[in-house]
Amino acid sequence: MNYKINELFETIQGEGSFTGQPSIFIRLQGCPVGCSWCDTKHTWDIELADQVSPEVMLNKTEETVQWANFSAEDVLALVKDKGFQAKHIVITGGEPCMVDLTPLCAALEQQGYSTQIETSGTFEIITTEKCWVTVSPKINMRGGYKVLASAMSRANEIKHPVATEQHIDELKALLAQHKVVNTPIYIQPISQKKRATELAIASCIANNWRLSVQVHKYIGIE
């Protein structure tokens, strides 16, 4: 099975439970959800005209729509060839759960890597048992997709971007609908602006949730 990869790089995880963890990010191409604040809109569309060789994709110096096909074995070979030291791998997008991630995660886990998926919760999550699933539920987005009960029940953590009280209300309704009780809840300001951050902090204190502040953006890394 081949995966359409837009980026593959080593950095520090800046969000959620693994904040500060050295990580290898695999960014897949394709997402129909349509979040207005998305900071990776270049990964939305899958166009055959944008397919390039793995070498061209890996040598990109800026964000582009270009993607390349990689098998799980190709990914493992590349990680070793690059000399990456991180043992945690984050599969994101785009919307990674548009495809079956089991072959990729299984191959990585067999080589001693831990795996994590970051998903909107609007597609069935098909992966290994060991994989850590971060659901960032996208509610009432332009694409019209619904957050799935199966995704909410599979989530190891829920990470919700907020800018307004409406976002908080939508999350509370979603948690009540799916009877989420013990899953860690992270609230993440959509921007680094004071108002959004203050709302996130107040909501965390009021509801015993946790704060995620996108550390990578504050320290200026990818």
* Annotated binding-site members: 12-14, 27, 31, 35, 37-40, 92, 94, 136-138
Dig out the tokens for 28 from the structure: 């897949």
Nearest 5°: phi and psi at 31?
Answer: -165, 120
**Numbered residues of the known binding site for [4Fe-4S] cluster:** 31, 35, 38
How far apart, in whole angstroms, are the C-alpha atoms of residue 123 and residue 150?
Answer: 9
**Numbered residues of the known binding site for S-adenosyl-L-methionine:** 37-39, 94, 136-138
113 forms beta bridges with none
Q: What does DSSP say about strands 132-135 and 114-119: parallel, antiparallel, or unpaired?
A: parallel
**Numbered residues of the known binding site for Mg(2+):** 40
How far apart, in whole angstroms, are the C-alpha atoms of residue 51 and residue 54?
Answer: 9
**Numbered residues of the known binding site for substrate:** 12-14, 27, 92
Lay out the sheet containing 88-92: strands in order across: 68-71, 2-12, 22-28, 88-92, 114-119, 132-135, 157-162, 185-189, 210-211
